[in-house]
Amino acid sequence: MAEFKEISPNASATAKLTNWFENRFPTAFDAYRVHMSEYYAPKNFNFWYIFGSLALLVLVIQIVTGIFLVMHYKPDAAKAFESVEYIMRDVPWGWLIRYMHSTGASAFFVVVYLHMFRGLLYGSYRKPRELVWIFGCAIFLCLMAEAFMGYLLPWGQMSYWGAQVIVNLFAAIPFVGPDLALLIRGDYVVGDATLNRFFSFHVIAVPLVLLGLVAAHLLALHDVGSNNPDGVEIKGPKAPRDAQGHPLDGVPFHPYYTVHDIFGVCVFLMVFSAIIFFAPEFGGYFLEYNNFIPADPLKTPAHIAPVWYFTPFYSMLRAITSEMMYALIACVVGAAAFAVLKTRLIGLVKGAIVVAAAVVVVAMLSFDAKFWGVLVMGGAVVILFFLPWLDNSPVKSIRYRPSWHKYLYGVFVVFFFVLGYLGVQPPSPLGERISQIGTLFYFGFFLLMPWWSRIGETKPVPDRVIFAAH
């Protein structure tokens, strides 16, 4: 048993109360010191570093508002839509709770996309933070599952038909697809069984996994330390330290970055509140107009599209047509030919590459394009997990990479936005062609990264972080 810490009898009442708690719950105070007051973060953080704390804030908003919504929601196909209307019209402040939750879903993906893009810019996935990045990608995957399952719960037209389309995609998987789709639906069509399954996962199962991953993400981050815009390790073996062993290029997270984050939180809450009170549907992007119509299995909407945060990946799904398969086959054959003719590999390895390419081409010709579309849509997320091993640049941060890298990243962002926009639009020949180009660029960006990330002359990386006091 640890010894009790003594305190002066003349100490203030607050100090005495703090001492009383610390003696009886020292673990909590140790955690505060490790993760806040004695956790040293780089002193050159910029505004890009507020999105992690904003994601945590939105997670809390979603959990709290979700608890209140569950009090009045009925997961019954005959009553779900009416229960949402009851929340909106009759429950005191129910409309506010519902709009906070629906707007919070979109806000979650906004801050998470920006948080991930910051990691991409500054190489926050590089050694020794590979596990931090993997946990982050797992969080993103859980968020997508949570959002998809929650999307069905209002039981509106777009919820119902969106779920019908997405679940039916699983049926395209060879051999196990039909049984898998039946397992997900719980019936031969999206109905009461599906609603109950999705409700259970949305409210209990996925949030538990999500909270565990968030805890693992934060603990892994604080074990290896935060990255910074310069990509310089402030806690490395050669990093300068003061007499107490604290890094000279770091400052305690509290109070310096708690104040920094509070400012970001205030700005975020002003924007968040403005959307809730003045434009909760956000032009039909946050809440589709068809979702204010009860689900009708006998009436299909003219255009079925998922919510905006899924649309880049939905565009990739739609881009994979029978015509597109020939372009993909050409890519596989070209990659295999390049590996055989231009690389210094032993003959056995070259033979294995040729055989593997032939097997892939046969599979691509054998299975329906719809299956490969599902595979591409899933692969667009899964490939993010491998980013730490795809990037071979000698430097981490975009600041010290060749200037043309910035333009390449810019084109990547433009294509991602274009894919997102096309995903909410009805199919068209021009849109299909642009989606195919965007899909090829998206995968080319990552799959060719081991090659292009090494090209060009990098700028010298400083030994210490560059920081100007303000």
Residue 313 shares a structural domain with residue 275: no
pLDDT for res 101? 96
Q: Residue 222, annotated ligand binder?
A: yes
Question: Within the chain, what is the greatest distance between any pair of CA atoms?
Answer: 83
pLDDT at 22: 83
pLDDT tens over the chain, length 470 residues: 556 777 888 888 888 888 888 888 888 878 877 777 788 889 989 899 999 999 999 999 999 999 999 999 999 999 999 999 999 999 999 999 999 999 999 999 999 999 999 999 999 999 999 999 999 999 999 999 999 999 999 999 999 998 888 888 888 888 888 899 999 998 888 889 999 999 999 999 999 999 999 999 999 998 898 999 998 888 877 778 878 878 888 888 888 889 999 999 999 999 999 999 999 999 888 998 888 999 988 888 888 888 999 999 999 999 999 889 988 899 888 888 888 777 676 767 778 888 888 998 898 888 888 889 999 999 999 999 999 999 999 999 999 999 999 999 999 999 999 999 999 999 899 999 999 999 999 999 999 999 999 998 999 988 888 777 65
Q: Is 202 annotated as a binding residue?
A: yes
| Secondary structure of residue 252 in the 3-state scheme | strand
User: Is 405 marked as a binding-site residue?
Assistant: no
Please tell me the distance from the alpha carbon of residue 312 to that of residue 315, in angstroms, as a whole number.
5
Nearest to 396 by CA among 136, 51, 139, 129: 129
Same domain, 238 and 366: no
Query: Is residue 61 within 8 Å of residue 51, measured between CB atoms?
Result: no
Hey, which residues does 139 pair with through a beta bridge? none
Within a domain: residue 28?
A: no
The predicted pLDDT at position 470 comes to: 57
pLDDT of residue 357: 87
Q: Please report how many Cα atoms fall inside a 13 Å half-sphere around the Cα of residue 9, on the Cβ side.
A: 0
Do 348 and 447 lie in a common domain?
yes
Question: Are 239 and 342 in a shared domain?
Answer: no
254 is in an annotated binding site: no
Do residues 351 and 217 both lie within one domain? no
CA pair distance 136, 121, nearest whole angstrom: 15
Q: Of 282, 297, 332, which residue constitutes the final position of a domain?
A: 282
Residues 258-288, buried b or exposed e (16+ Cβ, 10 A)? eebbeebbeebeeebeebbeeebbeeeebbb
Full domain range(s) for residue 61 = 34-282
Q: Are residues 277 and 323 in the same domain?
A: no
Q: Closest by alpha carbon to 439, among 360, 338, 321? A: 321
Helices marked H in 153-243 — which ranges? 157-170, 177-185, 192-200, 206-224
Q: 343 and 264 in one domain?
A: no
Enter the DSSP assignment of 236.
S
Residues linked to residue 250 through DSSP beta bridges, in sequence order: 42
Q: How many domains does the chain have?
A: 2
For residue 428, being part of any structural domain is answered with: yes
Pick from 245, 265, 282: which residue ends a domain? 282
312 with 268, same domain: the answer is no
Q: Is 246 labelled as part of a ligand binding site? A: no
321 and 441 both lie in a single domain: yes
Q: Kindly state whether residues 184 and 260 are assigned to the same domain.
A: yes
Q: For residue 70, tell me if it sits in a domain.
A: yes
Q: How far apart are CA 110 and CA 141, in angstroms?
A: 15
Q: What residues pair up with 294 in beta bridges, in sequence order? A: 156
| Residue 297 in domain | no
